[in-house]
Amino acid sequence: MKKIIAGALIALPLMTTFATKASASEVIIRSGIRPTEHRGEFIARGRHRVFIPGHWQYRNHHRQWIRGHYEWRY
């Protein structure tokens, strides 16, 4: 029973702070500000495969031949 009363006493100040409504004097309306421009809808570019020809590449301080392969590019 003591836990319930103690919980209610702790929760009472929190409930009163959240339950208050904002007064009209706190609301600020600025009519001089222009609305932001609407950006056009983003259209994703299509993905396509690109052939990467064979080439030498350094790996672990040694040159290694990388054979030609396809990669996905945007």
pLDDT value at residue 66: 95
pLDDT value at residue 49: 93
pLDDT at 12 over 90: no
Tens digits of residue pLDDT in 17-68: 665 565 555 667 776 767 677 777 777 778 889 999 999 999 999 999 999 9
Choose among 25, 70, 18: nearest CA to 49. Answer: 70
pTM over 0.85: no
* Strand runs labelled E in the chain: 48-52, 55-59, 62-66, 69-73
